[in-house]
Chains A and B, each alone.
Chain A
Amino acid sequence: MLITKPPTPSDDKRWRAVDARMLRLGYSADALIEVLHSVQQAFGYLDDVALTYVACSLNVPLSKVYGVATFYSLFSLKPQGEHTCVVCTGTACHINGAGAILARIRTRFGIEPKQTTPDDQISLLTARCLGACSIAPAVVYDGEAKGKQTPEQVVARLAAW
């Protein structure tokens, strides 16, 4: 079967990283998750355009791409806010007060996990376990992990964004 690579959705330069990754992985259908990772890394989330482009490029049915993108919790189909705050809810963090941190964020900013503030500033996420159990409770601010956090510290940090 002859497969022709579809045209890039736009001349956005970020597609170059995605194309380079697909090329390196030989446009293999098995590389779907790796490619979705690189799309999310480049754009922050996966929209319909991206999913369709990946499906056509790897010659995978769009239904399968959608199925994979929605199966894994790290993939987001919605744009994220300017900043992201990931609260670990692993066992050690749970018994050391992760719930209180989430509750304080809820009262102060009105968002639940997987939600973004109306001004698109802060997205709140939770993690199953970051493996930072010895410094529980752990919170990741824009990729920077911090341990032994209190609700006060978290809210202060988020309010400063």
Chain B
Amino acid sequence: MTEAEVVAPVAAPAAAHRSRRMTGPSVTGPVRVTAAVCQAAGCLSAQSDRVFANVTDRLISDGVTDVAVKRVGCLGLCAAGPLVEIPETGALFRQVDPDAINSLVTYLQTAKAGDASPEREPFFTRQHKIVLENCGRIDPESIEEYLAAGGYRALRKAVTELTPQQVIDEVTRSGLRGRGGAGYPAGLKWATVAKQIATTKYVVCNADEGDPGAFMDRSVLESDPHRVLEGMAIAAYAVGAQHGYVYCRAEYPLAVQRLKAAIHRAEKAGYLGAAIAGSPFAFHVELRLGAGAFVCGEETALLASIQGGRGTPVPRPPYPAASGLWHQPTLINNVESYANVPVIMRRGGDWYAAIGVGKSKGTKVFALAGRIVNSGLIEVPMGTPLREVIFDIGGGIPFGGTFKAVQTGGPSGGCLPEQLLDMSLDYESLVAAGSIMGSGGMVVMDDTSCMVEVARYFMDFCREESCGKCVPCRVGTTQMYLLLTAITEGRGTLADLAALEKLGDMVRSTSLCGLGQSAPNPVFSTLRYFRHEYVEHIETGVCSAGVCPMAAGAVS
């Protein structure tokens, strides 16, 4: 979708019919340029709502009537918020102070389509946006804008022209794999649910993005919620489900609010509910809130939570595809997986499969955070080298710091060192390197981070978030945490490292669910690549990063 296509409905002759919301109250005639003000959580915390209000007021008081001011979702470069983009010229205003908008307003008074703007840095030009194609371009609270950007066209086509099997074939052909972390082929999962014989089936969207350091799903829900609903509805049609649940974590109030509004508007517009797009297909979506339990990202725990219970996992099989919510066949995918579906249906599975590398097709959204210049949200083709993501797109390490590690996959993933920077970002390569793709959070660390302390941090996380149902996870993570704590306090021995490895192996192979099975990953990966730091703590009593409690005495 090019900018011109998105903007076209605003500038079209049918201007009289456009909603006030699409242009803002300052516009009375044709639109010359648009000021798109980011209203996602990152920029909002830097008062982008006041930027929106102040720019609107100022344009009205200045008598400028041909500049549209609109609210949009995440523009990506959260580190430089609040952001205002002028899509007609490509100009981007950063760190806009709501009380100092003079230069922005001056620019808006004379700018016109085609004006040259400073070339954008690689952060913007190296990306390939599929899931994020509408983020920062449409008003997340307006279904009209989503429709104008081609939204719900794929759903309409699916339910009126295609059979469920054709939809599944298209998704299979695309090679889409689950974006929640495990990378299970989506087409295969859909086909499994579709072939179950049951009168009631469910489609569930996992929006319980619990990995610390990950905010892809939050941004998609805040910026383009209809896209996720459309993906779910297409999935429901394909597998024969009538009911759907979005399980969203309560820590994301803005995402919840926008999702609620989107469900309501989609129902009113006939894209959810009974007789979707005039066909006999019906699909009802309800929202369920989490309540702060990391384990609920695990699919069987998530289903228990939707049913009002404690989020404790159960052994699989049976897999949810055969027996899920209320023992009925249930399809579970995460936000980003569903967000890929409308594009796949619109442009074809073959088009999608041409992007990416090996068995990892399409693009992946990553959240860059930690010690990195351009922290924010990016989308790149699978197989992009890690170095390109961190140094070209991410802008490298701030304050002249030295890259030490990048943590991918949250508490289930691992820390990758400098010598792996040229690796390709795809499911298989990440697993081979001792980490996982995970949901896509990337936390970059420089030499101010101690890797032993990072391992301890993640083990503390897993220990507290373990639901306590199975012993290896409940007790094993606590014991590993105590060993790591001893090392960070200067009480560790080399025998502790062997004990950590042995214990970790036991926790990994005997825990009931993914939480426990992957909990030792941060320890394994730091032992593999940063063993010298462990040894340094044990043998010399020094934490060279100066982070660990023992370091205070040793260094000074």
> A74 is contacted by which of B41, B291, B407, B445 (Cβ under 8 Å)?
B291
B46 contacts chain A at the CB level, 8 A cutoff: yes
Min distance, Cβ B317 to any Cβ of chain A, angstroms: 23
Residues of B within 8 A of A74 (CB): 250-251, 290-292
- Are B369 and A134 in contact, with the CB atoms below 8 A? yes
Query: Which of these, B251, B253, B375, contacts A133 with CB under 8 Å?
Result: B375
Q: How far is the CA of A95 from the CA of B453 in the complex (A)?
A: 10
A131 to B457, CA, bound (A): 17
Shortest beta-carbon contacts, A-B, top 4: A72-B291, A90-B212, A134-B78, A133-B369
Residue of A nearest to B289 (CB): A37
Residues of B within 8 A of A146 (CB): 45
> Given A134-B79, A147-B42, A91 and B308 touching (CB < 8 A)?
no
Given contact pairs A33-B305, A72-B291, A91-B369, enumerate 8 new A-B contacts (beta carbons under 8 Å): A31-B308, A68-B309, A71-B311, A74-B291, A91-B212, A92-B212, A128-B251, A128-B461
Chain B neighbourhood of A135, CB < 8 A: 42, 45-46, 78-79, 81, 375
A62 proximal to B (CB < 8 A): no
Chain B 183-227, CB-CB to A under 8 Å as 1, else 0, gives 000000000000000000000000001111111001000000000
When each residue 88-103 of chain A gets 1 if its CB lies under 8 Å from chain B and 0 otherwise, what string results?
0111101110000000
- A–B pairs, 14, beta carbons within 8 Å: A74-B251, A91-B369, A91-B407, A92-B375, A96-B371, A127-B292, A128-B461, A129-B210, A132-B42, A134-B368, A135-B46, A138-B45, A143-B253, A147-B46
**B212-A128 in contact (CB<8A):** yes
- The residue that B41 contacts in the complex, of A36, A136, A145, with Cβ under 8 A, is A145
Contacting pair A73 B292 (CB below 8 A): yes
Contact code string B441-473 (vs A, CB < 8 Å = 1, else 0): 101010011000010011001000101000000
Residues 216 to 275 of chain B near chain A (Cβ within 8 Å): 218, 250-253
Assess whether B291 is in contact with A75, with CB atoms less than 8 Å apart: yes
Report chain B residues within 8 Å CB of A132. Answer: 41-42, 45, 215
B370 near A95: Cβ-Cβ < 8 Å: yes
Tally of chain B residues near chain A (CB < 8 A)? 55
Is B310 part of the contact surface with A, judged by Cβ < 8 Å?
A: yes
Task: State A29–B467 Cα separation when bound (angstroms).
Answer: 22
- CB contacts (< 8 Å) of A91 on chain B: these are 212-213, 369-370, 407, 410, 441, 443, 457-458
Q: Interface of A with B (CB < 8 Å)?
A: 28-34, 36-37, 60, 64, 67-68, 71-75, 89-92, 94-96, 127-136, 138, 143-147
Cβ-based interface call for B376 (8 A): yes
CA distance A92 to B376 in the complex (A): 12
Residues of B contacting A127 in the complex (Cβ-Cβ under 8 angstroms) = 251, 292
Residue contact A68 to B310, C-beta cutoff 8 Å: yes
A131 to B210 CA separation, bound complex (whole angstroms) = 9
Residue of B nearest to A147 (CB): B45
A135 and B369 CA atoms in complex are apart in Å by 8
Instruction: Return chain B residues, CB-CB under 8 Å to A90.
Output: 212-213
Q: Which residues of B contact A75 (CB under 8 A)?
A: 291-292
B552 to chain A, nearest CB (A): 12
| A59 to B: closest C-beta gap in Å | 12
Quick one: which of A96, A128, A134, A144 contacts B215, CB cutoff 8 A? A134
Q: Is the CB of B308 within 8 A of A131?
A: no
Q: Which residues of A contact B445 (CB under 8 A)?
A: 95
Q: Answer whether A95 and B449 are a contact pair too, CB < 8 Å, given A33-B305, A37-B291.
A: yes
Whether A33 pairs with B288 at a CB distance below 8 angstroms is yes
Which residues of chain A have C-beta atoms less than 8 A from B309's C-beta? 32, 64, 68
Q: Is B367 in the interface zone, CB < 8 Å from A? A: yes
Residues of B within 8 A of A129 (CB): 210-214, 251
| Interface check B307, CB cutoff 8 A | yes
* Complex-state Cα separation, A31 to B306, whole angstroms: 8
**Contact at B46–A73, with CB atoms within 8 Å?**
no
Chain A's nearest CB lies how many Å from the CB of B334? 14
CA distance A73 to B466 in the complex (A): 12
CA distance A131 to B215 in the complex (A): 5
Does B530 lie at the interface of the complex (its beta carbon under 8 Å from any beta carbon of A)? no
B524 at the interface (CB under 8 A from A): no
Contact of B291 among A31, A36, A92, A133 (CB under 8 A): A36
State A37–B367 Cα separation when bound (angstroms).
29
Q: Out of B42, B79, B306, B308, which one reaches A68, CB within 8 Å? A: B308
Q: Which chain A positions have C-beta within 8 A of B123? A: none
Check if B367 sits within 8 Å of A33, measured CB to CB: no
Q: Given the complex, which residues of A lie within 8 Å of B441, measured CB to CB?
A: 91, 133
CA distance A33 to B288 in the complex (A): 9
Which chain A residue has the least Cβ–Cβ distance from B252? A131
How near does chain A come to B458, taking the closest CB pair, in angstroms?
Answer: 8
> Which of A29, A132, A144 gathers the greatest number of chain B CB atoms within 10 Å?
A132
Please, which residue of chain A has its CB at the minimum distance from the CB of B443? A91
| Pair A32/B42 contact, Cβ less than 8 Å | no
CB-CB < 8 A to B276: which residues of A? none
Give the residues from 1 to 48 in chain B that come closer than 8 angstroms, CB to CB, to chain A: 41-42, 44-46
Q: Is the CB of B308 within 8 A of A128?
A: no
Q: For residue B218, which residues in chain A have a CB less than 8 angstroms away from its CB?
A: 131
Smallest Cβ-Cβ distance to B287: which chain A residue: A34
Question: Smallest Cβ distance from B312 to chain A, in angstroms?
Answer: 8
0 or 1 for each of B311-341: is its CB under 8 Å from A? (1 = yes)? 1000000000000000000000000000000
Q: Which residues of B contact A37 (CB under 8 A)?
A: 250, 289, 291
When the two chains form their complex, are residues A131 and B45 in contact, meaning their CB atoms are under 8 A apart? no
Chain B residues, CB < 8 A from A145: 41, 44-45
